[in-house]
Amino acid sequence: ILIAFLVLILAACGGDNEGSGEKEKGGEGEVKTIRAGIGLNDAHPQYKGLLKFKEIVEEKTNGQIKVETYHSGQLGDDRTMTEALQIGSQEVVIPSTAPLANFVPEFSIFDFPFLFPSEEVADKVLDGEVGQKFLDQLESQNLVGLAYWENGFRDVTNSKRAIATAADFKGLKLRTMENELHLEAFRALGANPTPMALAELFTAMQQGTVDGQENPYATIYLQKFYEVQDHVSNTHHIYSPFVFLMSKSFYDGLTEEQQTIVKEAALESGKYERELNREANNQNLADLEEAGMTFTEVTPEARQEMIDLVQPVLDKYAEKIGKEKVQEVYDAIEEASK
C-alpha cells in the first residue's frame, strides 16, 4: 500500500512539473487575464454583451483565460483605454468608431451623418468585406479589431428647447464625443459643440455647462439623462458602431486555439449585444416620455435640410480620407440596401 501511495504521489508531481514547464513556455498552462473596459454603465446592453463574452471565453478555455469587466469609465474613457491597449496595460475596450478615428482616421467614414439607412444595412456592411478592411487597418496601431457591436442611431436631447428643424440647433451648447467630424458637423448645423468624456456628461448637464448631448435612446435612458434633460428628438443623425478591440501584443501571445476562441466569442456576444440594444432602443423612447421628457418629431423634410447643411463637411472628410474608400462604403451600403 505504501509503495502504491508513493507511486501515486510521484505521478502527481510529474504532472505538475509538466504543467509548470508549459507555464514557463507561456503555453496552455498559464492563466491569462483580460481586463475589459467600457464607458457606459452596467445597465447598458454593451455591458451585458461583455458579460456574455466573459462567460463564453472562460468556459471555452476552461478558465485558462479570465475576463475582468469594468464599466462606467472605471478604466478611463474610450481614448485612454485604447491607448492602454496600445502599450499593453489593458487587453480589451469596445469604443465607438468616433474616438477610434483619432487612431485610424478612416474610421470617420462610419460617423458620416445620415450614412446608414438602417441597423440591418449597417450589419451587412460592417460584418462584410468592407467592414473587415477597416478592422485590418487597426494592426498598424497595435490593435486587433475582433468584431463590430452596436451603439446605435444617435438622437439629440437638451434642456433649452424642442428641436424640430436645423434652425433649432442655433447656439445650443452640445457635448459630443472626441471626434473632429462630429464637432464640424454640429457647427455646420449652427450648434456650439464641445467634446467631453461620457463620465463627466451627467454633471455637466446638471450644472448647465452644456445644454445637451446626443446618444441613442438606450443610453439616454439607462444613464438617466432624463433627470437633467427636458427635450428629445428623433434626429437619428449618426449610426454609431462599436468596435471590439484587443491589444495586439496580448492577442499575439495567445495560442492559435485561444485566438479563435476570443474572436468567435467577440462575434457571438456581439450578436447578443445587438439584439438587446435594439430591444432597448425600441422600448426606451417610451420610457423617456414616461420619465417626463418631451418628444419632438423630426420630419423627413427637416432631416433633409440637416443633411444639406452637413454635406460640405462630408465632402471635406471624403477628400481627406480618400474618395475611393468612401465610395467603396457607399457602394456596399447600396448593395446591402437592395
CA dist 175 to 214, 236, 244, 306, Å? Answer: 7, 16, 24, 18
Query: Residue 221 in contact with residue 44, Cβ under 8 Å?
Result: no
Nearer to ligand KDG, 192 or 259 (CB): 192
| C-alpha span between 123 and 333 (Å, rounded) | 10
Q: How far is the CB of 15 from ligand KDG (least distance, A)?
A: 43
Q: How far is the CB of 141 from ligand KDG (least distance, A)?
A: 17
Q: How far is the CB of 176 from ligand KDG (least distance, A)?
A: 8
Q: How far is the CB of 9 from ligand KDG (least distance, A)?
A: 51
Q: What are phi and psi of 124, to 5 degrees?
A: -65, -45
List interacting residues with ligand KDG (CB under 6 A).
38-40, 46, 78, 95-96, 151, 177, 198, 215, 240
Q: Which residue's Cβ has the minimum distance to ligand KDG?
A: 39
Cβ count near 285 (within 10 Å): 18
Handedness of CA 113, 294, 195, 91 (dihedral sign): negative
| C-alpha span between 74 and 11 (Å, rounded) | 46
| C-alpha span between 296 and 218 (Å, rounded) | 17
Nearer to ligand KDG, 80 or 137 (CB): 80
Q: What is the DSSP letter of 89?
A: S
Q: How far is the CB of 294 from ligand KDG (least distance, A)?
A: 22
Q: How far is the CB of 61 from ligand KDG (least distance, A)?
A: 25
Nearer to ligand KDG, 39 or 193 (CB): 39
Nearer to ligand KDG, 95 or 193 (CB): 95
| C-alpha span between 240 and 35 (Å, rounded) | 24
Query: Residue 40 in contact with residue 223, Cβ under 8 Å?
Result: yes
Nearer to ligand KDG, 254 or 288 (CB): 288
- Which residue in 197, 238, 231, 198 sits closest to 216, CA to CA? 238
Query: Residue 231 in contact with residue 161, Cβ under 8 Å?
Result: yes
| C-alpha span between 178 and 191 (Å, rounded) | 16
Q: How far is the CB of 65 from ligand KDG (least distance, A)?
A: 22
Nearer to ligand KDG, 40 or 84 (CB): 40
Nearer to ligand KDG, 151 or 158 (CB): 151
